[in-house]
Structure 1
Amino acid sequence: MTARPTFRLLLQTALLVGVVSCAPIGADLEPTVEVFDGLTMGTSYSVRVVAETGWEPDRRARVGARIQGVLDATESAMSHYQPTSELSRFNRNRTTEPFYVSRETFEVMRLALDLSAQTGGALDVTVGPLVNAWGFGPDEPMQLPPNADLLGRLRSHVGFEKIELDPVASTLRKTDPELECDLSAVAKGYGVDQVAAALADEGETRFMVEVGGEIVASGLNQQGRPWRIGIERPSADGGIEQVVPLSDRAMATSGDYHIVREFDGRFVSHTINPHTGWPVEHQLAAVTVIADECVVADGLATALEVLGPEEGYALASERGWAALFLVRDDDGTITAHATAAFELLGSYNGN
């Protein structure tokens, strides 16, 4: 029997993207900023709403409750940690019969499968059992690394093409009853989009929503400029790699070093390559994607992280996706490679 190795789980909720403050530009009267912070989906969230005048307590309480409610609804539907969620019940449904899900869960699954097709399966929400086997899911692994027989068995039940959708009935159907899904690569981005939609429904046009590093920025910040979003440098020294002016767009980052497992003195990333069953092993430290929707940016960032610095960059350039690849060189230095679409957004170096 193989002895169980020693390992530890490193979790950091800040992830790779942070909001960079902007100094006032001299206006006598600036708008106020309503701030909402909290916890959701195993991480934190931050919402900033620019208002011409301060809100009355009743309005602030109502909007704050609506923000939390939107995020709670997303988590209760799509969490693979909560046993009562729609996703967990779908995973436990060991049949090939159609399974009814809410419109929201159906739409996220549809978007995820579309992104899977666009990326050749680099994004694959059916990778859940492999994620669990490596210790990044709800259950502790019995052995790290998982043995080859286990990985082989789990990989035989992976494949986004094994899910069939019926938009009329709002059902999902497994063609393999052992298939299980993990929507964590897109659920946070979807939650961000839903909060942004709720704020727009409230009549707000200037706000920033962030959940675990996934961001939507709408309109202008307190100083009347695009929101300045810092992309963290994924190195021991840290700091800001670039600052991106963001307005009416979404941004998401996937990286290899904030959520890791250690075994036998080696760290492995939480990003699992669905084609190999192993954590990604290349020099792409982080990739940031800007898109119209955060759910799309979220899913594409994961897919490009799986593909790596060469294949991922080639695909993003071919498709016209705005992506920034931060590659860790052999000596540990970080080199940035931006696609043409990313460069057009007018990003500039931070300090």
Structure 2
Amino acid sequence: MTALRALPVNNRNLNLLKALCLSVWLLLAGCEQRRPAWQLEGMQGTALWHVTLTNPPATLTKAELQAGLNQRFAQTNQWLATWDDTSVLAQFNRQQGTDWFAVAPELAQLVELTLQLSQQSNGVYDVTVGPLIKLWGFNSHESKTAVPEQAAIDAARAQVGYQKLQVRLEPPALRKSQADVLVNLSSVADGFAADQAGHYLETLGVHDYMVEIAGEVRTRGVSPRGDAWRIAIEKPVDEGRVIQQGVSLQNAGLATSGDYRNFFVEGGKRYSHTVNPATGAPVTHNLASVSVVAADATLADAYATLLMALGEQQGKIFADTHGINAYFIWRTDQGFETADTAGFRQLLGKK
């Protein structure tokens, strides 16, 4: 199961992206800063990013740090972007043979993680779902408006299956056992990008920072106030920005997966960007969003997508069973209901 972060590029979706990103800062605004801090922001592709760091490095100017972060985000896109024909992943997808394909160690480690989660979830999470994502139009810069024919869905499903993808770490490489397999890592791309930016900051001696890209967050150390980073989780509404819940983070990542930013409606039925590999169609449960706190943003991003695919009932059971810190919001006839796991309740200071 995978979920694309890219949205069709238009003013409405750029505004939605800005709202999503700015929600991260909402709980920080207006608070007294007791330590020196820098705030930087930029845009990579269609994704907005923000970085706040406490005690900036004396060896770099703010402009130099901005350039370094831009370079790190660009490198991540060069590895993972399915919309860029020159990216490593796009080249691997075009490869018609089944030979080993050399990749960077970071990419091999990322694929290894996704395959572990595929096994853990019995294929509910599956990064080879690319053909179905493409068929349903959720990786396109044009809005999708029509449901594919069943024959086309069946043909795309024949290309899907995480067992058809292999990875090795030494030397780092990927291989597919079926030539037409397409890998899509969008379900972890934003979290991975946040972690990569964090690793870069740490090489500069920065250990108190928050990185956010397209709503996925990595935190380390303390905020400019000297305490934990305070992050807002949005209410899953199609328009505007409403805070549902705040959470304090320290040395952790947070990611949210939802159906309220990337979807289309046909015949009165809503089709979200989260596709079930077993059926070849978007999921049909009532879960609107799920937020996960994990050791880093990559793992949080992957688990959020996995739980979103499972839905509010099975997702809650899976999260409880595997000790995942998760917060669920689902639709009812009366509005929204919520549930959280024991670990997430502890983060909120609840019993």
Fold-level similarity (TM above 0.5)? yes
Rounded to whole Å, the distance in 2 between the matches of 1:125 and 1:115 is: 10
Say if 2:128 is the partner of 1:122: no
Q: 1:141 to 1:257 in 2, by over 3 A?
A: closer
Residues 218-266 of structure 1: per-residue CA shift (max 9 Å, x gap): 1111211211101011136852111001111100000011111233444
1:58 to partner: Cα distance: 4.8
Aligned to 1:47, which of 36, 48, 51? 51
Rounded to whole Å, the distance in 2 between the matches of 1:140 and 1:39 is: 20
Identity of aligned residues (%): 32
Q: What one-letter code is carried by the residue in structure 2 that aligns with 1:78?
A: L
Q: 1:145 to 1:59 in 2, by over 3 A?
A: same
1:298 to partner: Cα distance: 0.3
State the partner residue of 2:320. Answer: 317
State the partner residue of 2:305. Answer: 302
SS of corresponding position for 2:132: helix
Rounded to whole Å, the distance in 2 between the matches of 1:205 and 1:58 is: 15
Residues 43-91 of structure 1: per-residue CA shift (max 9 Å, x gap): 100001112xx77795222221111111100001111000000100011
State the partner residue of 1:221. Answer: 223
Q: What one-letter code is carried by the residue in structure 2 that aligns with 1:36?
A: L
SS of corresponding position for 1:126: coil
SS of corresponding position for 1:282: coil
State the partner residue of 1:252. Answer: 255
Q: What one-letter code is carried by the residue in structure 2 that aligns with 1:82?
A: D
Identify unmatched segments of 5+ residues in structure 1.
1-7
Say if 2:37 is the partner of 1:18: no
What are the residue-to-residue correspondences of 1:190-339 with 2, within 5 Å?
190-235=192-237, 238-331=241-334, 333-339=335-341
Q: 1:321 to 1:144 in 2, by over 3 A?
A: same
SS of corresponding position for 1:200: helix
Q: 1:238 to 1:48 in 2, by over 3 A?
A: closer
Q: What one-letter code is carried by the residue in structure 2 that aligns with 1:317?
A: D
Q: What one-letter code is carried by the residue in structure 1 that aligns with 2:179?
A: P
Rounded to whole Å, the distance in 1 between the matches of 2:280 and 2:288 is: 19
Q: Which moved more, 1:13-22 or 1:104-113?
A: 13-22
1:106 to partner: Cα distance: 1.1
Aligned to 1:31, which of 28, 35, 51? 35
Identify unmatched segments of 5+ residues in structure 2.
1-7
Say if 2:169 is the partner of 1:162: no
SS of corresponding position for 1:96: coil
SS of corresponding position for 2:182: coil
Rounded to whole Å, the distance in 1 between the matches of 2:283 and 2:216 is: 21
* 8 Å Cα contact 2:41/2:48 also seen in 1: yes
TM superposition score normalised by structure 2: 0.89
Q: Count how many residue pairs are aligned between Structure 1 and Structure 2.
A: 335
Q: What one-letter code is carried by the residue in structure 2 that aligns with 1:312?
A: G
Q: 1:57 to 1:203 in 2, by over 3 A?
A: closer
1:23 to partner: Cα distance: 4.1
SS of corresponding position for 1:205: coil
Rounded to whole Å, the distance in 2 between the matches of 1:141 and 1:230 is: 28
Rounded to whole Å, the distance in 2 between the matches of 1:234 and 1:342 is: 18
Q: What one-letter code is carried by the residue in structure 1 that aligns with 2:80?
A: M
Aligned to 2:174, which of 172, 181, 198? 172
1:347 to partner: Cα distance: 5.3
* 8 Å Cα contact 1:132/1:141 also seen in 2: no
Q: Which moved more, 1:264-273 or 1:318-327?
A: 264-273
State the partner residue of 2:3. Answer: none
1:98 to partner: Cα distance: 1.5
State the partner residue of 2:4. Answer: none
Rounded to whole Å, the distance in 2 between the matches of 1:37 and 1:57 is: 20
Q: What one-letter code is carried by the residue in structure 1 that aligns with 2:51?
A: V
Q: 1:71 to 1:238 in 2, by over 3 A?
A: closer
SS of corresponding position for 2:314: helix
Q: What one-letter code is carried by the residue in structure 2 that aligns with 1:194?
A: Q
Rounded to whole Å, the distance in 2 between the matches of 1:307 and 1:280 is: 8
State the partner residue of 2:101. Answer: 99
SS of corresponding position for 1:72: helix
Rounded to whole Å, the distance in 2 between the matches of 1:141 and 1:161 is: 31
1:120 to partner: Cα distance: 1.8
1:204 to partner: Cα distance: 1.2
Rounded to whole Å, the distance in 1 between the matches of 2:228 and 2:136 is: 40
* 8 Å Cα contact 1:242/1:347 also seen in 2: no
SS of corresponding position for 2:99: coil
Q: What one-letter code is carried by the residue in structure 1 that aligns with 2:300?
A: A
Rounded to whole Å, the distance in 1 between the matches of 2:65 and 2:155 is: 47
SS of corresponding position for 2:300: helix
Rounded to whole Å, the distance in 2 between the matches of 1:336 and 1:153 is: 37
Rounded to whole Å, the distance in 1 between the matches of 2:60 and 2:34 is: 23
TM superposition score normalised by structure 1: 0.89
What are the residue-to-residue correspondences of 1:61-140 with 2, within 5 Å?
61-138=63-140
Q: For the aligned residues, what is the CA RMSD?
A: 2.2
1:104 to partner: Cα distance: 1.8
SS of corresponding position for 1:344: helix
